[in-house]
Amino acid sequence: MDTKHIKISDYNYDLPDERIAKFPLPQRDHSKLLIYRHGEVSDDVFYNLPDYLPKGALMVFNNTKVIQARLHFRKETGALIEVFLMEPAQPTDYEQMFQTTGHCAWLCMIGNLKKWKEGSLKRDFTINGHSFTLTATRQEGKQLPNASLHGTPSTNHWIDFSWDTTNVTFAEILEAVGELPIPPYLNRATQESDKTTYQTVYSKIKGSVAAPTAGLHFTDNVLKSLDEHGIDREELTLHVGAGTFKPVKSTEIEGHEMHTEYIVVHRQTFERLIKHQCQAIAVGTTSVRTLESLYYMGVYLQTHPDASEDDLHVKQWTPYENGADGKLVDGITPMQAIRNLLDYLDRNHLNALHSSTQIIIAPGYEYKIVKMLVTNFHQPQSTLLLLVSAFVHGDWRKIYHYALSHDFRFLSYGDSSLLIP
pLDDT tens-digit profile, the chain (421 residues): 799 999 999 999 999 999 999 999 999 999 999 999 999 999 999 999 999 999 999 999 999 999 999 999 999 899 999 999 999 999 999 999 999 999 999 999 999 999 998 899 999 999 989 999 999 999 988 887 766 556 555 678 999 999 999 999 999 999 999 999 999 889 999 999 999 999 999 999 999 999 999 999 999 999 999 999 999 999 999 999 887 778 899 999 999 999 899 999 999 999 999 999 999 999 999 999 999 999 999 999 999 999 999 999 999 999 999 889 999 999 999 999 999 999 999 999 999 999 999 999 999 999 999 999 999 999 999 999 999 999 999 999 999 999 999 999 999 999 999 999 9
Quick check: is 188 in a domain? Answer: no
**AA letter at 16:** P
Do 244 and 266 meet the contact criterion of CB atoms below 8 Å apart? no
Q: Give me the pLDDT at residue 246, please.
A: 80
Q: Give me the pLDDT at residue 144, please.
A: 76
Domain count, the chain: 2
Query: Can you tell me whether residue 404 is helix, strand or coil?
Result: helix
26-52 per-residue burial string, b: 16 or more CB within 10 A, e: under 16: eebbebbbbbbeeeebeeeebbebbeb
Which of 121, 150, 179 represents a domain boundary (last residue)?
179
Quick check: is 54 in a domain? Answer: yes
CATH number assigned to the domain comprising residue 52: 3.40.1780.10
Domain co-membership, 216 together with 355: yes
Which residues make beta-bridge pairs with 388? none
Q: Give me the pLDDT at residue 148, please.
A: 57
Domain co-membership, 356 together with 316: yes
How many Cα atoms occupy the beta-carbon half-sphere of 2 within 13 Å?
5
Quick check: is 212 in a domain? Answer: yes
Q: Give me the pLDDT at residue 147, please.
A: 62
Do 72 and 299 meet the contact criterion of CB atoms below 8 Å apart? no
Do 162 and 103 meet the contact criterion of CB atoms below 8 Å apart? yes
Handedness of CA 277, 236, 52, 389 (dihedral sign): negative
Q: Please tell me the pTM assigned to this model.
A: 0.95
Domain co-membership, 222 together with 134: no
Domain co-membership, 152 together with 272: no
Domain co-membership, 149 together with 29: no
Q: Give me the pLDDT at residue 244, please.
A: 78
Long-range contacts of 320-325 (CB under 8 A, 24+ apart): 320/3, 320/4, 320/364, 320/365, 325/1, 325/3, 325/364
Which of 179, 204, 221 represents a domain boundary (last residue)?
179
Task: Please state, in angstroms and rounded to a whole number, the distance separating the CA atoms of residues 386 and 10.
Answer: 10
Q: Give me the pLDDT at residue 419, please.
A: 98
Quick check: is 189 in a domain? Answer: no
Domain that holds residue 115: 69-179
